[in-house]
Amino acid sequence: MRKSALLAAVLFLLVALVPLAGDAYWLRLGTTMLMYGVIAMAWNFIGGLAGYPSFASAAFFGLGAYAGAVAQKLGVPMGLAWTLAGALSLAFAALLGLALLRLRGHYFAIASLVVAEVLRELVNSATDLTGGGMGLNLPVPHDATVASQSEFFFYAMLALAAITFAAMLWATHSKLGFGLRCIQQNESAADMLGVNTTLYKVAAFMLSGAFAGAAGAIYASWVHYIEPPDVFDVLYSVKAIVMVLLGGAGSVFGPLFGAAIFLSLEELVWRNYLQVHTGVLGLMIVLLVLFLPKGVFSLRLPWRKGKP
Amino acid sequence: MLSLQILANGLVLGGLYACIAAGFSLVWGVLNVINILHGSFIVLGGYLAYYAYAQFGIHPFVSILIAAPLFFALGYILQRSLINRMIAAPVLLTLSLTFGLDLMLSNGMLVAFTADFKKLTLDPPLGVLNLGGIALPVDRLFAMVLALALTGLLYLLLSRSRIGRAIVAVRMDREAAALMGVNVKRIYAVTFGLGALMAGASGPLLAMIFPISPLSGPVYLGKAFVICVLGGLGSVPGAMIGGLALGVVESFGALWFGPEHAITLSFTLLILMLLFRPTGLLGRTGYA
Amino acid sequence: MTTLLQLEGVTRQFGGLKAVSGVDLSVAPGEVIGLIGPNGAGKTTLVNVITGVHRASSGIVRFDGEDVTGLKPFQAARRGIARTFQIVQPFPEMTVAENVAAAAMFAGAVRYGDEANAEALGHLRFVGLAEMADKRASSLTLAMRKRLELAKSLAMRPKLLLLDEVNAGLNATEVDHALSLIRGIAARGVTILIIEHLMKVVLSLCTRIVVLHHGELIASGTPQEIVQDPRVIQAYLGRRYAAGGEAAEGQSHG
């Protein structure tokens, strides 16, 4: 655990140097990568550790984005708005988890997939609060330059990624993560051994929700404008899974590496083929599932074994 | 009178929904694979009917006969070549695989047909049937009857034919079926083919009623999910009941809450059913 | 006489079928009770009701002076009811030691980390699996897995241990080893309820035998009384004293 923490600290410090390059393109790319990393790590709590095929990432991300945006619109300071958005997603995940985590397999997957659709419709119809289908503009602080702004959001996303990573590292090497691994391998046996499976699964779902929601809130402030189909996009749920699969499910660094690899592919391949954007993503998923279902690093790396 | 009219509309819609869901439910039940492609197959079937009618004047009802073998072959080959490799993999992987395939297909359709909605309008129109004050568009009525007939044919195939009994046997107990000489791999491929056939064949029927667009794929897929859960997984009668129930619920829901809440309503229904009655309205599974 | 486990009129129905019907049973601390009966008699279902896997349709389960009827499995486990499965259920991707540590941690209230590992190693030594501690559980042979199940259930620090066919599928030497382990566990003061098809095991191990037939308790007594009981002999229809391993019982684990 100490080794992983040290390695991560070095990694995050290196990433923190990116703004020195001073290039707006690299800054945008870095922020996106960190955001993807947070979404992937957040999914890893429920999908990687507990082994539940959650498609709820988009729901949490969108909920956080709208919660943060609405709070800011109502005059809540930005940092507090992000925290509130994370807390709301956490509470929402708790309630949702109590209901949905009784389902298994395909049923859980579908139910979690549907949540984003329902939220999107609700946000669409709550026009007074959310602007509905017209989208929502966020206040832009006028005392800052564009460059300093993008630097600010980069560091905000970096801080969130670091916190998410710390939480995941802690969870993996604690009783919580151990219990979740038991659940992932054999839930009824875990129950028999005294694991309060409901509590553990809901806890994992809450962590998942909180971090994905916070990422959504920062994203909303960063891009200044959100609309329902953008932030409740089911592709967020799919990308989270793909990134973790790429990097290796259940590993501590997997989601981050997966996010980096995924974004590189996205940038290298898709920028040139905008029209077949989703098709190429689909092809990538198919190839990944067929040929590398255990991730790019299919070797058993030393840090992938979380000992009690 | 109004509620009778709404009920009739709902039942007509429900017959089509049953046809949408029957194949999806079959594949899910027998292979334990959720075929995310199902919605796009329906849309593709719709385009086939649209172009057949616009270019060659082939009536959509006839297009069904063209679509059926094509989609069966497509499904059979897809299962044999790709999906079968992941058949025993965890839910997450099989789901991701069909999801990826669906992204490719729907993107392909978007490039080929654009996102504009296309409407297949029969010329001359078939008119409207008036049954004691209840107005029923004849094309819808025909589409529903054909949809129910297709679903009924699937049921007959499963309950009467040799291959159908083998499919049911595999669904109930794969190992036992294999021991009794059933070629499980082939049955899987045939089942997936049948699922694709049902999707492709319901496409032309839907094209006569709803505008077609690649963007409609997920909508049909969502309906198939809801119907499976409503009616209970993996049974044709279940799909029938679930389809009719969803049709009626959507029609009345549109009346009471407004048509823009149709998706929210049906998905809320889905989640409630999953939580409180996961075996479906009929409370049983299988084809028995 | 104090009782550790008391069943009062316990019934469990599946649809119209009564898998367990009106079972009354008291178990005193320190007893080693054999639960026998033909296949499908409802033995595993009864164990499932005691451990909370199935909720009793009617009747009361008392454990250690407390009504535990509606408890969930994890709650029953934390109160000191441990069980092994007819079909062994390790966490396949975890090491043998981790499997046992999990039991120590979640049911035995041992702290996460070194403490749980040390406890796990102790139990593994007791069942003779210490040298396999760092191997993956999926790499064990069937006999080893059965012993792993025993180590896991011991790590739960049970007051009552429910053993569901721990000897099924084992050869004669392995059965003897398992027998001496179970004796050792009983000697520690753990109360044991054992489902077993091998009469040799039941007769040599148990202080008392209860017989379940069609879900009902038809006899209870010392081994000598039971083997002479005409109702028991009739229930088995000549299938008594079965020598080899038996086919798995029809009851599922839910």
Q: What is the pLDDT of residues C102-119, one digit of tens each?
A: 999 998 888 888 899 999
C-alpha span between C86 and C196 (Å, rounded): 10
A260 vs A140: which has the higher pLDDT: A260
Mean pLDDT, residues B250-273:
81
> Is C86 part of a structural domain of the chain?
no
The structural domains of chain B, with segments of one domain joined by +, span 21-212
Instruction: Give the total residue count for chain B.
Output: 288
- Does the CB of A126 have a partner CB in chain B at under 8 Å? no
C-alpha span between A60 and A237 (Å, rounded): 9
pLDDT of residue A305 exceeding 80: no
Q: Are B16 and B238 in contact (CB under 8 A)?
A: no
Same domain as C191, residue C227: yes
pLDDT of residue A250: 62
Chain A residues closer than 8 Å to B271 by CB:
99-100, 111, 114-115, 118
Under an 8 A CB cutoff, do C94 and A181 touch? yes
Q: Which of A3-17, C2-16, C88-102 has the lowest mean pLDDT?
A: A3-17
Under an 8 A CB cutoff, do B274 and A289 touch? no
Beta bridge pairs of residue C62: C6, C67
C-alpha span between C71 and B249 (Å, rounded): 39
Closest CA to B167 of B195, B146, B191: B191
pLDDT tens-place string over residues B43-62:
999 999 999 999 999 999 99
C-alpha span between C114 and C118 (Å, rounded): 6
Same domain as C140, residue C26: no
C-alpha span between B80 and C154 (Å, rounded): 48
Q: Give SS3 for C240.
A: coil
Torsion (CA) A189, A190, A196, A201 in degrees, nearest 10: -110
C-alpha span between B208 and B204 (Å, rounded): 7
C-alpha span between C105 and C120 (Å, rounded): 10
Q: Does B124 sit behind a cis peptide bond, omega within 30 degrees of 0 on the bond before it?
A: yes
Q: Which tokens is A92 given? A: 């929402």
DSSP assignment of C33-59 equals: EEEE-STTSSHHHHHHHHHTSS--SEE
* DSSP code at position A126: -
Same domain as C167, residue C116: no
pLDDT of residue B288 exceeding 70: no
* DSSP code at position A270: I
Q: What is the ipTM of this complex?
A: 0.85
C159–chain A nearest CA distance, Å: 14
Portion of chain B with pLDDT greater than 90, in percent: 44
C-alpha span between A51 and C115 (Å, rounded): 27
pLDDT tens-place string over residues B68-80:
999 999 999 999 9
pLDDT of residue A228: 92
A251–chain C nearest CA distance, Å: 14
Mean pLDDT, residues B86-113:
90
Closest CA to A263 of A37, A61, A14: A37
Other CB atoms within 10 Å distance of the CB of residue C241:
11
E strands, chain C, are 5-14, 17-27, 32-36, 58-63, 66-67, 81-84, 160-164, 191-195, 208-213, 216-221
Residue type, C86: Q
Chain B residues closer than 8 Å to A291 by CB:
none
Portion of chain C with pLDDT greater than 90, in percent: 52
Portion of chain C with pLDDT greater than 70, in percent: 93
Chain B residues closer than 8 Å to A245 by CB:
92-93, 96
Q: Which tokens is A231 given? A: 């932030």
- Do at least 3 CB pairs under 8 Å connect B with C? no
Residue-averaged pLDDT of chain A: 88
C-alpha span between C213 and C225 (Å, rounded): 17
For testing contact with chain C, the best of A176, A193, A200 (most C CBs within 10 A): A193
pLDDT of residue B124 exceeding 80: no
- Does the CB of A300 have a partner CB in chain C at under 8 Å? no
Mean pLDDT, residues C123-137:
92
pLDDT of residue C247: 39
Beta bridge pairs of residue C26: C6
C75–chain A nearest CA distance, Å: 6
Which residue of chain A is at minimal alpha-carbon distance from C99? A182
pLDDT of residue C253 exceeding 80: no
B143 Ramachandran zone, left/alpha/beta (phi>0; psi -120 to 50): alpha
pLDDT of residue C250: 37
> Is C210 part of a structural domain of the chain?
yes
C-alpha span between C240 and C245 (Å, rounded): 13
pLDDT tens-place string over residues A116-149:
988 998 898 888 888 888 889 887 776 777 778 8
Residue type, B155: Y
Question: In total, how many domains does chain C have?
Answer: 2
Strand pairing report for C81-84 and A225-226: unpaired
Chain C residues closer than 8 Å to A192 by CB:
51, 53, 73-74, 77, 83, 85, 89
Mean pLDDT, residues B166-172:
88
- What stretches of C128-198 show up as alpha helix (H) in DSSP? 142-155, 172-187
> Is C251 part of a structural domain of the chain?
no
* pLDDT band for position B282 (cuts 50, 70, 90): low
Binding partners of A (≥3 Cβ pairs within 8 A): B, C
Give ∠ CA B251-B257-B262 in degrees, rounded to 5: 55
Under an 8 A CB cutoff, do A182 and C253 touch? no
> Is C122 part of a structural domain of the chain?
yes
Same domain as C6, residue C125: no
Q: Are C197 and C242 in contact (CB under 8 A)?
A: yes
Q: Are B68 and B129 in contact (CB under 8 A)?
A: no
pLDDT of residue C248: 37
Give ∠ CA C13-C14-C16 in degrees, rounded to 5: 80
pLDDT of residue B286 exceeding 50: no
Distance, C-alpha C112 to centroid of its chain: 26
pLDDT of residue A307: 37
Q: Are A113 and B95 in contact (CB under 8 A)?
A: no
* Residues in C lying within 8 Å of A, measured between beta carbons: 51, 53, 72-74, 77-78, 83, 85, 89-94, 98, 101-103, 105-108, 112-113, 116-117, 152, 156, 253-254
- Domain containing C204 equals 1-80+158-243
Most confident listed range (A211-225, B213-227, C100-114): A211-225
* DSSP code at position C136: B
pLDDT of residue C244: 36
Which residue of chain B is at minimal alpha-carbon distance from A238? B96
C-alpha span between C153 and B30 (Å, rounded): 37
A191–chain C nearest CA distance, Å: 5
| Backbone phi and psi for residue A279, each to the nearest 5 degrees, phi listed first | -60, -40
- HEC profile of A15-50: HHCHHHHCCHHHHHHHHHHHHHHHHHHHHHHHHHHC
> Is C248 part of a structural domain of the chain?
no
pLDDT tens-place string over residues C220-230:
999 888 888 88
Chain A residues closer than 8 Å to C112 by CB:
174-175, 178, 308
- Give the largest CA-CA distance in chain B: 58
- What stretches of chain A show up as alpha helix (H) in DSSP? 2-16, 24-43, 57-73, 78-100, 105-125, 127-130, 146-172, 175-185, 187-192, 197-223, 228-231, 234-247, 254-265, 277-291
Residue type, B43: V
Under an 8 A CB cutoff, do A282 and B86 touch? no
C-alpha span between A141 and C176 (Å, rounded): 79
Same domain as C185, residue C74: yes
Beta bridge pairs of residue C164: C195
C-alpha span between A210 and B276 (Å, rounded): 27
Q: Are A189 and A6 in contact (CB under 8 A)?
A: no
B278 vs C45: which has the higher pLDDT: C45
| Backbone phi and psi for residue C63, each to the nearest 5 degrees, phi listed first | -135, 125
Other CB atoms within 10 Å distance of the CB of residue C122:
15
pLDDT of residue A231 exceeding 60: yes
* pLDDT band for position C238 (cuts 50, 70, 90): low
Contacts for B36 with CB less than 8 Å, ≥ 6 apart: B95, B98, B99, B101, B102, B221
pLDDT of residue A40: 96
Q: Are A207 and A42 in contact (CB under 8 A)?
A: yes
pLDDT tens-place string over residues C32-67:
999 998 888 889 999 999 999 999 999 999 999 899
* Residues in B lying within 8 Å of A, measured between beta carbons: 28, 32, 34, 82, 85-86, 89-93, 95-97, 99-108, 111, 218, 222, 225, 229, 260-261, 263-264, 267-268, 270-271, 274-275, 278
Chain C residues closer than 8 Å to A181 by CB:
91, 93-94
Residue-averaged pLDDT of chain C: 86
CATH code for the domain in which residue C68 is found: 3.40.50.300
pLDDT of residue C246: 41
Under an 8 A CB cutoff, do A189 and C91 touch? yes
Under an 8 A CB cutoff, do C105 and A196 touch? no
Torsion (CA) C83, C89, C93, C96 in degrees, nearest 10: 50
| Backbone phi and psi for residue C83, each to the nearest 5 degrees, phi listed first | -145, 155
Binding partners of C (≥3 Cβ pairs within 8 A): A
C-alpha span between B180 and B164 (Å, rounded): 15
